[in-house]
Amino acid sequence: MKVSEEPKVGEALYHIRVKKGEIPRYVFLPGDPGRVKVFAESWDTSQLVAQEREYLTYKGKYKGVELACTSTGIGSGAIAIAVEELLRVGADTLIRTGTTGALSPEVKVGDMIISSGAYRADGATRAYAPLAYPAVPSYEVLLALVEAAESLGVRYWVGLTYSTDSFYLGQGRPGFNGYTSEYSERIVERLRKLRIINMEMESSTLFTLAGIYGARAGAIFAAIANRATGEFVPSDEFEASGVRTMVKVADEAVRILYEWDAKKAELNKPYFYPSLIKKL
Ligand code: URA
């Protein structure tokens, strides 16, 4: 019997069920499969690629740019699988488009947060690299997200993100029957002192794996909760939660990146730099 090291079903990758070459290089990564459809509806054309467990993939075109969106499920284990398999089938630029809890009282629910780096309180990346290894986005993706947010005139913040596998105690929320732990009681205050501006569950894994594999990554979030003011808005209340705004900013950021990438290719430059914009 021939034994394959690569878990596949026919030609498709085992979990995401996408085949090599079926998706373009730019891929959005929301956690929730429901949000993949919000992306698909925002594009000029879209089609279903695959659906398996929490991994739903659509691809399409936005203003002439080919892009895709795959849901990752929640937490580091689930997104690590998505990243591993998407890179194998042709993606090289992965943008997390999630929801988050803001730590600073100035951030309003519905604002955008763009991550400039992630605190690795996840579980999966310990199998990949020591904790001293940085979890940082690509500066090109980060800049394209800022450019898109500015061009659309939305409220946004740029700062450090805390990523944990635990929505409740890991983010300072009480567990069942009010159970708590020393870690949980201290974490919110500790993160504020470290000037971390938001809490979520996947970005440290995306950034760490992208760093190791030489891919580009970025992350933008809609703030659906504020841990200082106690506000919480369900993410399916699109206008109030900022999810629809996040989709618009992300689409526009990929259009901008595509232009920058084309200019880099034309001028044979490996990296984007600000005066390249004058040459556009
Ligand atoms: N996602 C999280 O992980 N935490 C929040 O508070 C909101 C969304």
pLDDT tens track for 39-62: 999 999 999 999 999 999 999 999
Angle at 27 between CA 21 and CA 33, to 5 degrees: 105
CA–CA distance, 209 with 223 (Å, rounded to integer): 24
CA–CA distance, 151 with 114 (Å, rounded to integer): 15
- H helix runs in the chain, sequence order: 33-42, 76-88, 139-152, 182-193, 203-213, 238-241, 243-267
pLDDT tens track for 223-237: 999 999 999 999 989
Measured from the Cα of 200, ligand 1's closest atom is 3
Instruction: Count the Cβ atoms, other than its own, within 10 Å of residue 44.
Output: 10
The token duo for 84 is: 């591993």
Crossing angle of helices 243-267 and 33-42, rounded to 10°: 60
Catalytic site includes residue 227: yes
pLDDT at 1: 57
Instruction: Count the Cβ atoms, other than its own, within 10 Å of residue 12.
Output: 18
Q: Are 217 and 118 in contact (CB under 8 A)?
A: no
Helix (H, G, I), strand (E, B) or coil at 104: coil
Residues 196-203, mean pLDDT to the nearest whole number:
98
pLDDT at 6: 83
State if residue 114 touches ligand 1 by the CB under 6 angstroms criterion: no
Percent of the chain surpassing pLDDT 90: 94
Catalytic site includes residue 173: yes
Catalytic site includes residue 85: yes
pLDDT at 279: 66
Helix (H, G, I), strand (E, B) or coil at 59: strand
Residues 227-248, mean pLDDT to the nearest whole number:
94
pLDDT at 17: 98
Expressed in angstroms and rounded, the spacing between residue 56 Cα and the centre of ligand 1 is 21
Q: Give the residue whose CA is nearest to atom 1 of ligand 1.
A: 100
Residue 280 has pLDDT above 70, yes or no: no
State if residue 188 touches ligand 1 by the CB under 6 angstroms criterion: no
Measured from the Cα of 101, ligand 1's closest atom is 6
Helix, strand, coil tally for the chain in percent (to 5): 40, 30, 35
- The CA distances from residue 50 to 140, 180, 223, 256, in Å, are 29, 40, 29, 27
State if residue 101 touches ligand 1 by the CB under 6 angstroms criterion: yes
Helix (H, G, I), strand (E, B) or coil at 28: strand
Catalytic site includes residue 53: no
CA–CA distance, 280 with 276 (Å, rounded to integer): 7
Residues 99-106, mean pLDDT to the nearest whole number:
96
pLDDT tens track for 3-34: 567 889 999 999 999 999 999 999 999 999 99
Q: What pTM did the predictor assign?
A: 0.97
Nearest to 159 by CA among 185, 134, 137: 137
Residue 196 has pLDDT above 60, yes or no: yes
Residues 159-172, mean pLDDT to the nearest whole number:
98
Instruction: Count the Cβ atoms, other than its own, within 10 Å of residue 38.
Output: 18
pLDDT at 3: 59
